[in-house]
Structures are given as C-alpha cells and as structure tokens.
C-alpha cells in the first residue's frame, strides 16, 4: 500500500509538473501575445507623434520671411533698419585768411553718410553772416549731385582779398531741398574770413 501510494504520488507529481509546465508555457504564450500587441500599439503611437512633429516643422518654415534682405549703403527704402533709411547730408565749416588781392578759394565739403544706393542731390546757396556779398565774397548757388557710391563733394566760394584792416567776418553756405532719398542733418557751412591786414 505504502509503496503503491508512493508510486501514485510520484506519478501525480509528474503529471501535475507536466501540467504546470503546459500552463506555464500557455501563460508565457499569452504574455508574449500581449507584449506583441503592446509593441504594435507603441509603434503606432510613436508613428503618430512623428507625423505631427513633421507637420509643425514644415508650417514654421513656410512662415519664415525670405523676400527681405538687408541693403548696403543709404537711400534704400527696402533696407530693414531701426533708424531712417535716407542718406544724411552734412557740410563742413571753413576758416581761412582773406588774402590781399584777387580771390581766395574757400572749399566746403558736402558729405553723405554711408554710400548712396541711388543719386543724391541737394541745393546750396550763400547767404547771411557779417560779411557782405560781392565786396567780401562772390555770392553763388547751385546743386551738388552724388552718384551711387560717391560720399563727398566740394562747394568752392571765392573770397575777395584786400589790404583794408577789418574784423573777422563770416558768411554761410546753406543746404536745402535734398532729394527724397536723403535728409539734411547739418544745413549750414560757416565761412570765417580771417583778417590779415
Ligand atoms: Ca587782406
Ligand atoms: Ca581785409
């Protein structure tokens, strides 16, 4: 009895072990299937994420402005800048001895800041000051023109020389009427005639 029982118990153990192995395999298979479906879902999810990211990126690229480009020089309306685009015009002052005969050239420099991208013009004329036209200097007027890339021009005024003792006197060269691509920052050149008698 005891031997038989022991034998039976062994058989039962063997059978239950085999069953346990089968159950374990079944479970493993079940887990495996579950894992596979999860991977598939995860893959599908990541695919969806990737697609939406690509859409966002292409939208951003489309809205980036590509038609504007910074210009070099002044007077270009398309030049993106925080200050005004027009060329800035200035004129120098001249201080010189009168001379005793004939005329002495007083040379004023009219300058444009930066390099004009198109022709800049400005009118000029003598006037004002303590010096007298004709007797102390030759009155004159005109227009200076800066071709693209040109930044300086000169205006020459003739000062009349004599040997009469006089105080120092002044006359002005006034700038006006700049072309639309420019503005006048310093409108007045001061000519100082130094007495040399
Ligand atoms: Ca003199
Ligand atoms: Ca004099």
- Closest ligand to C-alpha of residue 100 is 1
Query: Residue 26 pLDDT more than 70?
Result: no
- Closest ligand to C-alpha of residue 164 is 2
From residue 94, alpha-carbon distances to 58, 101, 131, 156, 166 in Å are 62, 19, 14, 10, 18
**What does the DSSP assignment read for 109-123?**
EEEESS-BSS-EEEE
First to last CA, the chain: 156
Query: Residue 43 pLDDT more than 60?
Result: no
pLDDT at 69: 43
Domains of the chain: 84-186 (2.60.40.2030)
pLDDT at 173: 98
What is the distance in A from the centroid of ligand 2 to the CA of 162?
Answer: 5
For the residues 29-43, what does the mean pLDDT come to? Answer: 45
pLDDT tens digits, one per residue of 1-20: 455 565 665 655 554 555 45
Task: Compute the CA torsion angle 175, 179, 181, 186 (nearest 10 deg).
Answer: 0
- Closest ligand to C-alpha of residue 101 is 1
- Closest ligand to C-alpha of residue 161 is 1
pLDDT tens digits, one per residue of 45-71: 444 444 444 444 444 444 434 333 445
Neighbours of ion ligand 2 (CB under 5 A): 98, 162, 164, 166, 197
Task: Specify the pairing of strand 169-176 against strand 141-146.
Answer: unpaired
């Amino acid at each position: 009895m005891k031997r038989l029982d022991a034998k039976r118990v062994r058989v039962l153990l063997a059978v239950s072990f085999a069953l346990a192995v089968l159950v374990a395999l079944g479970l493993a298979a079940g887990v495996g299937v579950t894992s596979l479906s999860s991977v598939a879902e995860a893959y599908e999810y990541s695919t969806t994420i990737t697609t939406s990211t690509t859409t966002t990126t292409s939208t951003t690229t489309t809205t980036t402005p590509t038609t504007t480009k910074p210009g070099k020089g002044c007077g270009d309306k398309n030049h993106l800048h925080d200050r005004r685009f027009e060329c800035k015009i200035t004129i120098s002052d001249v201080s010189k001895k009168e001379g005793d005969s004939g005329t002495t050239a007083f040379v004023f420099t009219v300058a444009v800041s930066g390099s004009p991208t198109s022709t800049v013009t400005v009118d000029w004329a003598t006037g004002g000051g303590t010096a007298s036209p004709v007797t102390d200097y030759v009155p004159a007027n005109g227009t200076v023109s800066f071709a693209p890339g040109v930044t300086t021009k000169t205006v020459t005024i003739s000062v009349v020389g004599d040997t009469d003792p006089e105080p120092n006197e002044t006359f002005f060269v006034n700038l006006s009427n700049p072309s639309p691509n420019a503005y006048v920052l310093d409108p007045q050149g001061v000519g100082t005639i130094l007495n040399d008698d």
